[in-house]
Amino acid sequence: MILAPSILAADLAHLAEEIAAVERGGASVIHVDVMDGQFVPNITLGPAIVRAVRRVTHLPIDVHLMVERPERHIDSFVDAGATWVSVHVEAVTHLQRAVASLSERGLQAGVVLNPSTPLSALEEILPEVDYVLLMSVNPGFSGQVFLPSALDKIRRLRATIRERGLRARIEVDGGITTENIRTVMEAGAEIIVAGVAAFAAGDPEASARGLIEACG
């Protein structure tokens, strides 16, 4: 299991220390939530933050683009140091072109589904992606409650990937806690994002370690 703390829930005034702490706690990816106030109601982080994160960690930076027409911004995130980039299928008209342009730039290419978007939206693109991010909350904010319907969706996607013999890994994002992380992993998720559960208790190192230990 790869733990990917979402810095949206971190103390941004002490971002370097917060990242160092989750890294000591066992995190192996840093998740950056980019929101534009259009695709989702909130406005959050951008390339400047990715550039700052790149200076303080060697971990992969997983950029989750919750923006309209994300393909317009890929180059600025690549220049800033992103290593994984995911785009929402709901936000892109020419998804194959967007995914191909991520791969051509040497990135891990991901596609994201909102909770109400069916897995059938992945049918054609699945062989081309390195990971699928399944949202377990409606995107926009940290600290929301995990939607249990995500579990069956993870299981069905896991089965499809296995049956089709594909490489795509499953990432899950939203409402992860020490109580549900093991179930999410057992359903078939390999990469698990945690915002509030990683950062909000005041000891990110212990929180990250606790999430990993909760996986058993």
Residue 88 binds Zn ion (CB under 5 A): no
Tell me the sheet residues that pair with 2.
191
Nearer to ligand DX5 among residue 124 and residue 177 (C-beta): 177
Which residue in 183, 176, 173 sits closest to 151, CA to CA? 183
Site string for Zn ion, 155-194 (x = CB under 5 A): ------------------x---------------------
Nearer to ligand DX5 among residue 96 and residue 112 (C-beta): 112
C-alpha–C-alpha distance, residues 54 and 30, integer Å:
10
Residue 171 binds ligand DX5 (CB under 6 A): no
Residue 62: C-alpha distances to residues 26, 148, 213 (Å): 16, 24, 22
Region 30-69 residues binding ligand DX5, contact defined as CB under 6 A: 31, 33, 64
Least distance CB 6 / Zn ion (angstroms): 5
Reported residue count of the chain is 216
Which residue in 34, 37, 92 sits closest to 63, CA to CA? 34
Q: 75 catalytic, yes or no?
A: no
Placement of tokens 């949206």 in the chain:
8
CA atoms within 13 A of residue 204's CA, in its CB half-sphere:
28
Q: 152 catalytic, yes or no?
A: no
Neighbouring CB atoms inside 10 A of 71's CB total 19
Task: Identify which range of 96-104, 118-126, 167-175, 206-214 contacts ligand DX5 by CB under 6 A.
Answer: 167-175
* Residues of the shown chain interacting with ligand DX5 in the complex, contacts defined by CB under 6 A: 6, 8-9, 31, 33, 64, 137, 139-144, 173-176, 193-197
* Residues of the shown chain interacting with Zn ion in the complex, contacts defined by CB under 5 A: 33, 64, 173
Residues designated as active site: 33, 173
